């Protein structure tokens, strides 16, 4: 089974935790115009959604 999800964001880690230090030291750059949509999901929701099929099996 493969889960197709958005970018996983969390203050405890995830993609946001990996990106913030780079932006804080001034090495980050804008990604596009800032007007586009970027799908994301919280870490808690991602874990809950990934465990749901296992509970139903």
State how far the Cα of 47 lies from the Cα of 5, in Å rounded to an integer. Answer: 11
Three-state DSSP class for 46? helix
pLDDT in tens, 8-18: 877 777 777 78
For 1-57, what is each residue's pLDDT tens digit?
Answer: 666 777 887 777 777 778 888 989 999 887 778 787 777 888 888 888 766 666 665
């Amino acid at each position: 089974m493969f889960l197709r999800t958005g970018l996983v964001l969390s203050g405890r880690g995830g993609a946001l935790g990996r990106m913030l230090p780079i932006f804080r030291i001034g090495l980050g750059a804008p990604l596009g115009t800032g007007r586009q949509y970027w799908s994301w999901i919280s870490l808690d929701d991602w874990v809950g959604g990934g465990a749901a099929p296992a509970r139903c099996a």
